[in-house]
Structure 1
Amino acid sequence: MSRLSIPLALADLNAPDGAALLALNNAHAVELSWLEPERLAHLVAQAFLARRVGVADALLLTFDHDADYDSPNFLWFRERYPTFVYVDRVVVADSARGRGLARALYDDLFDAAKAAGHARIVCEVNSDPPNPVSDAFHAALGFVPVGTAEIHGGKKTVTYLERRL
């Protein structure tokens, strides 16, 4: 584990950190999706890996293929791959950008996934509305496109990505 990242536990969500993490997520709801406190708690409880940096400088939530999760993007991967780790959300606060926090979180994820015997990390990036910063970041990490889909009644189009470990 990177010395920057801290495991995220359900107890953290009942502390002041919980409100700050929820605010971080919801400030980027266009890219991620809006969460209520109960939903964030459910996601953390289901997570393969849940990490944060600082109180709320950055957040990473991931799930393996066995998670109890109903996201259309997660389900897209479940229909196609027998095993995987899915990056549901990674976000860095505007005030903490440019410090390598997202990279540190992904490095932790790659190490944990390898240690657990996983061979692939998957995620999606919005293509409509576009997210060129995320596209470039994931490409630099070695992710490649493996599909696309319209979701939420055509309100969003996503590109599905995979990185083999």
Structure 2
Amino acid sequence: MALAIRDVREHDLDAVLALNNAAGTGILATDLDRLRHLYEIAHYFRVAEQDGRILGFLIAMRQDADYASQNFRWFQAHYESFVYIDRIVIASQSRGHGLGRIFYCDVQSYAEVRVPLLTCEVFLEPRNDQTVLFHGTMGFQEVGQQKMEEGPKVSLLARELPSFPFVRERYLEHGGLPKVEWLAERQRPIDGVGAAA
């Protein structure tokens, strides 16, 4: 069966949590309550599914999210408008096959019609040169560093989205994006009941 990138569903959260906590030192472990909070606030939360198995996920949010992450707050303090990649996890057996690039292309297509910047961080302790190189080849530049209160030192990265000025001038300043499915926002739950309008 073909690989599908789709919005997360609530019943996926147990599988997402297991993937997150099996990822190793490059991803901070979490618990179901924190993951559920991300599920409720994330503007972009997609999974890769094949043959009924979740092979990976990426969580991202815009600058107005109610999120206490120290790294997210750093970007809020320095930039007016952005999409922040909080985490990406690929199952160990699926690494090295381009799934990370597929996710980054997908989140970029979400971001570039809404904001001028795509942001994230990578751990510098322990340094993972494969991760650093991956982000460099995807066009990210270091814009700062900081030591997390309960974690490692990180490199804060941003990528300018060259399509955004065109989208802003042609659409966002003249009534907004077209009403087509591929441009629609994720339907997020409100207070744990139903979906956002």
TM-score where L is the length of structure 1: 0.89
The total of aligned residue pairs comes to: 156
Which of the residues 47, 55, 58 maps onto 1:57?
55
The one-letter code of the counterpart of 1:32 is I
Contact 2:41 2:65 in 1 (8 A): yes
Which residues of structure 2 form unaligned runs of 5+? 162-197
Letter in 2 for 1:122: T
Contact residue 48 and residue 57 of structure 2 kept, 8 A: yes
Unaligned runs of 5+ in 1: none
Matched with 2:7 is 7
Corresponding residue SS for 1:50: strand
Which of 108, 119, 130 is matched with 1:122 structurally?
119
Residue among 142, 146, 150 paired with 2:143: 146
Shift of 1:38: 1.4
Instruction: Kindly report the root-mean-square deviation, in angstroms, between the aligned alpha carbons of the 2 structures.
Output: 1.4
What residue identity is the alignment partner of 1:80? H
Aligned-partner Cα distance in 2 for 1:118–1:29: 31
**2:25 matches 1:30:** yes
So what's the TM-score if we normalise by structure 2? Answer: 0.75
How many angstroms apart in 1 are the aligned matches of 2:139 and 2:124?
18
2:56–2:89 CA contact under 8 A, matched in 1: yes
Contact 2:146 2:154 in 1 (8 A): yes
Deviation string 1:75-119 (CA, Å, 9 cap, x unpaired) is 01000001110000011111001221111111111111122x211
1:158 partner letter: V
Give 2:132's match in structure 1, choosing from 107, 130, 135.
135
- 8 Å CA contact 2:72, 2:84 repeated in 1: yes
* Cα deviations by residue, 1:1-49 (Å, 9 ceiling, x for unpaired): xx6311113x23xxxx322210110112522211111111110111110
1:67 aligns to 2:72 (yes or no): no
| 2:84 pairs with 1:86 | yes
Report the residue type matching 2:34 in the other structure. Answer: R
Q: Counterpart in 1 of 2:179?
A: none
Identity percentage of aligned residues: 35
CA distance in structure 2 between the partners assigned to 1:4 and 1:131 by the alignment: 28
2:93 to 92, 95, 104: 95
User: Which residue is equivalent to 2:108?
Assistant: 110
The whole-number CA distance in structure 2 between the counterparts of 1:137 and 1:121 is 15
1:47 alignment partner in structure 2 = 42
- Partner amino acid, structure 1, of 2:22: A
SS state of the match for residue 20, structure 2? helix
Decide whether the 8 Å contact of 1:4 with 1:104 is kept in 2. no
